[in-house]
Chains A and B, each alone.
Chain A
Amino acid sequence: MVSSPSGATAPTAAIVMPSAFPVTAPGTQGDRLIEIAGVEKVFGDPNTGHRALEAINISIMEKEFFTLLGPSGCGKTTLLRMIAGFENPTTGEIRLHGKDVAALPPRERPVNMVFQNYALFPHLTVYQNVAFGLEMLNWKKADITARVDEMLSLVKLSQFRGRKPTQLSGGQQQRVALARALAPRPQVLLLDEPLSALDLKLRKEMQFELKRLQRETGITFVLVTHDQEEALAMSDRLAVMNTGRVQQVGTPEEVYDQPRNRFVADFIGEANLIHGATLGRNADVMVAVRPERIELTMPGFQPRIRGVVEAATFLGSDTLLEIRAGEDRLRARIRGAVRLEPGTNVGLSWPDDAERLLAD
């Protein structure tokens, strides 16, 4: 890995420089930028080791805000680190603009990362931190100054250029990390749980900030998070992952409205999973219905399911009913105030498009 600086950075420059043109140049939305094809990762022995990722196939488009969503230990960070070049897939390809980069070291990939704890260099100032990547790419001094100034004003930190990272708040450190990663004009920006260290209010602000930066720079963002609300709010598309496998890929609406399996239905938002038998259908399937799509059946209509109210909690804009129906427990969010005593028999309905049949 140790080689002369000039020899080492030359190939990088060759890859990165094209994106140094106006950021609209490389492709338009809709072109495939990253293709992850048949990727598998085993830590330790190939046969007995820990299988962190299995049969991963994902395409990420140009200018897309893509999110890898899943509980901790699902392999999403491993996948992100693979795109960055910190991990190599055991099998499979990672293609960038159609070229397999799986074997390239991080510095030969036009990809930059915002680390979970930012990893700002503590002995360098904000300016030097942002300039670091450009120096490593052997940019001219004047170009570096101009680019760093541009980046610092983009993240609104121009007045802090001389500070050390330890003299900044968590949110400011976060923005320095963003500026540092965006400065070399990467084709992809990777974000590893970037908001997890911030408090709730700041997290909401930074969500807007990230969306704004992605719009303004036109760079593909790949975000890793375990927070489903964050993923739904920010992504153009997302991949839901669990136990090293991709469960579903789609837009937030698709993943929310048409979950492909029980894990997705349960992990994204709230879902009632009702046994098929309870509804008088095939006993092998589960029916998923969102609580907010369930209604109390109007008098004179045939309900889909009958149950007994166990609790009714008034939440202001709606009322949360907890209902027992056979062996299943349901939660229904009914608009407005509904006065129902526990023990009341109710009929529940939902439109056809509100239910999903899930085989597994």
Chain B
Amino acid sequence: MSAATNASHAIHAKSAEAKRRRRRPFDWRHNPGFGPFTLLVMLFLYTPLVVLVIFAFNANRLVTIWSGFSFKWFVSVANNGDIRHAAYISVLVGVLATICSTAIAIAAALGFERGGWFRGRGSAIGLVTMPLVVPEIVTAITTLIFFSAIGFHSGVLNLVIAHTVFCIPFAMLPIQARLNTLGAGYEEAARDLYGSEWRIFLRITLPLMSPGIMAGAILAFVTSLDDFLISFMVSSAGSTTLPVYVYGMMRLGVTPEVNAISAVLLVISAALALVAFIISRPSEAATAAAAGTPQTAATL
């Protein structure tokens, strides 16, 4: 028995050896110094976050001097009516903007991916995704000027409209990507099986694109929650979002309350990212398994 084990060990060692030798020439994972370099990048990225979270639990009034563990800044944040209101506005705007932008994004993605070729399709995609490349300050100022020019001052509604506009590309890209990988083959099959366009959309297209919709919606919500510049320009008294409020607090001096708010926001975004990951994981496995299945018969 031990001989057999030895033999199998030898085989394993041999195959591992072969694997090591068979690596591709530009396999970046095996470049020398890759490990330490990665570590450095990780430190650079995450040290500020870790420090921020640690000092959110600092008992001292001064942000940079540690004097003991405490939840008091979280309590103080929770008891601050202004912060609560700003958080409420942020979530309200985020939810409404996510719903509106995702709905528009679904329509846009369907138009681009299932509408066939039409003149100006490329330019139309460019126009919809423009907010991704236009400097945010430009969008912020033009939005502000636009609202003043037409005399539209409705507080939260201004914010919702502004956020909806710049959230559309974030919501659309994952949906469009999903529709693109699915191909039109399933809809074609459904059409062959006597489905009307509306029933095909409800029974086939919508369920199949739903992972893309979830990903797009979460991306849109996080983008809205995170936005500062545009909210700063557009918000008025009574419709201040959390990032704008935090900025206001900072001007009066940095208190550990800022750390506490940031820690909470961090946890929320991390949780959302985790949810997005869990939602998309099983369906991605299914897509991978069915990878050969779709594709319309464009071949002759």
Contacts and interface: CB of A to CB of B under 8 A. Distances in A.
Interface of A: 1-5, 8-9, 12, 16, 52, 72-78, 81, 84-86, 105-107, 111-113, 115-123, 132-133, 136-137, 164-166, 180-181, 184, 192, 197
B295 interface: yes
Interface stretch (B37-45, B80-88, B189-197): B189-197
Contacts of A132: 190, 193, 195, 203
Nearest to B292: A117
The 4 closest A-B pairs by CB, nearest first: A133-B193, A8-B196, A119-B189, A136-B194
Contacts, number: 109
Contacts of A78: 300
Q: How many B residues are at the interface, by size bracket?
A: 20 to 34
A137 B199 CA distance: 11
Interface string B190-214: 1111111111000110011000000
Contacts of B190: 121, 132, 136
Contacts of B208: 121-123
A197 B293 CA distance: 10
Nearest to A131: B193
B191 A106 contact: yes
Contact of B186 (A119, A181, A184): A119
B188 A136 contact: no
A116 B194 contact: no
A166 B289 contact: yes
Interface of B: 185-186, 188-199, 203-204, 207-208, 286-287, 289-290, 292-295, 297, 299-300
Contacts of B185: 115, 117, 119
27 contacts: A2-B196, A3-B198, A5-B199, A8-B196, A8-B197, A12-B194, A77-B299, A81-B297, A106-B191, A107-B191, A107-B192, A107-B196, A115-B185, A115-B188, A117-B293, A117-B294, A119-B185, A119-B186, A119-B294, A121-B190, A132-B193, A132-B203, A136-B194, A136-B199, A165-B293, A181-B193, A184-B194
A164 B195 CA distance: 21
Contact of A121 (B189, B196, B287, B295): B189
Contact of A136 (B186, B195, B294, B299): B195
A100 to B, nearest CB: 19
B207 A107 contact: no
B300 A137 contact: no
A160 to B, nearest CB: 16
Contacts of B197: 1-3, 8
Most chain B beta-carbon contacts within 10 A, residue among A3, A12, A121, A137: A121
B286 A166 contact: yes
B162 to A, nearest CB: 32
A121 B186 contact: yes
A74 B300 contact: yes
A175 to B, nearest CB: 15
A170 to B, nearest CB: 9
A223 to B, nearest CB: 14
Chain B contact surface mostly: helix
B295 A117 contact: yes
A136 B72 CA distance: 61
B297 A116 contact: yes
Nearest to B295: A117
A86 to B, nearest CB: 6
A113 B192 contact: yes
A87 B247 CA distance: 59
B290 A165 contact: yes
Contacts of B286: 122-123, 164, 166
Nearest to B210: A123
A317 B292 CA distance: 41
Given A16-B194, A77-B300, 19 more contacts: A3-B197, A3-B198, A5-B198, A8-B197, A72-B300, A77-B297, A77-B299, A78-B300, A105-B191, A106-B188, A107-B192, A107-B195, A117-B295, A119-B185, A121-B190, A122-B186, A165-B293, A166-B289, A197-B292
Contacts of A106: 188, 191-192
Nearest to B189: A119
Contact of B193 (A81, A164, A184): A184
Contacts of A9: 194, 196
A64 B190 CA distance: 26
A301 B290 CA distance: 64
Contact of B207 (A112, A123, A165, A166): A123
Most chain B beta-carbon contacts within 10 A, residue among A52, A74, A84, A166: A166
Nearest to B298: A77
A112 B292 contact: no
B81 to A, nearest CB: 47
A2 B198 CA distance: 6
Contacts of A116: 297
A122 B186 CA distance: 9
B217 to A, nearest CB: 19
Contacts of B293: 117-120, 122, 165
Most chain A beta-carbon contacts within 10 A, residue among B185, B194, B295, B299: B194
Given A121-B204, A165-B290, A52 B196 contact: no
A141 to B, nearest CB: 16
Contacts of B295: 117
